[in-house]
Copies of this chain bind each other. A is one copy, B any other.
C-alpha cells in the first residue's frame, strides 16, 4: 500500500470535511430533532419532508440543488457573496454537501433518543424554575447525548463516502477539494489506478471503523457514568 502526497492531502481533507460537517450539523440537528419531538407547529410535515429529501434524492441531484442555491445566482450564494464569502468550489462546499446528505440520518438518531426522554423530567425541570431554554440545555441536551453520538458517527461515516453531491458543488480539485471518494473516482477511471483506489478504500474504511468504535466506547462511558 503506497499513498502519494496527493492521497494524503485527500485523506486529511476528507477528515477535515467530515469532522466539520458533523460538528456544524450537530447543533442544527439537535434543534431540528427538538422541534420535531417537542413542538407542535404548522408546517411540521413540510419540515419532515425537507429533512428527508436528501435521503431520497440521488446525491447528484442534491449537488445540483446546492449548486443552484449556493452558486453565483443562487439566493444563498448572493447573500453570502455580500459578506465576501464564496462557497462553491471550496472545501466548505464539500462540507455543505456532506452535511446535507448526512443530515436526515443525524436527525433520526437524535429523535430516537429524545423520544425516550420522560416528559415528567421536563415538567419537573420547568416547575423547579427553569425556563424552556434552560430545560433544553440542562435536561434535554444531556439526555440526548447518546443519540447525538450515534447520529454523528453515522454522519461521519456517511460524509467519508459522499461523492455525488460533493463533486458537483465542490469540484474535484486535487489538494483543494478532492476528498477520498473523488480521488478514488479519479484512480478508478483509469485502468491502471485500481490498486491505488483500493488503498484509499481501505483508509476510508479504517477511518470510519475507528470512529464507530470511538463512539461506542464513549457511549458505554456515558451509560455507566452518570456523574457522581
Contacts and interface: CB of A to CB of B under 8 A. Distances in A.
Interface string A10-34: 0000000000000000000000000
Interface of A is mostly: helix
B112 A55 contact: no
Interface in A165-207: 180-181, 184-185, 188, 197, 201, 204-205, 207
A49 B207 CA distance: 11
Contact of A161 (B56, B207, B209): B56
A184 B64 CA distance: 11
A197 B208 CA distance: 33
A188 B63 CA distance: 12
Contacts of A212: 48, 52
A140 to B, nearest CB: 19
Identical chains in the assembly: 2
Interface in A143-162: 150, 154, 157-158, 160-162
Contacts of A207: 56
A58 B161 contact: yes
Nearest to A168: B188
Contacts of A70: none
A105 interface: yes
B58 A208 contact: no
B49 A164 contact: no
A163 B207 CA distance: 24
Given A105-B105, A205-B53, A212-B52, A164 B64 contact: no
Contacts of A204: 56-57
Contacts of A184: 58, 60-61
Contacts of A163: 58-60, 164
Interface string A104-146: 0100100010000000000000000000000000000000000
26 contacts: A48-B209, A48-B212, A49-B209, A52-B209, A55-B154, A55-B161, A55-B208, A56-B157, A56-B161, A56-B204, A56-B209, A57-B201, A57-B205, A58-B161, A58-B181, A58-B185, A59-B59, A59-B161, A59-B163, A59-B164, A60-B181, A61-B197, A61-B201, A64-B188, A112-B112, A164-B164
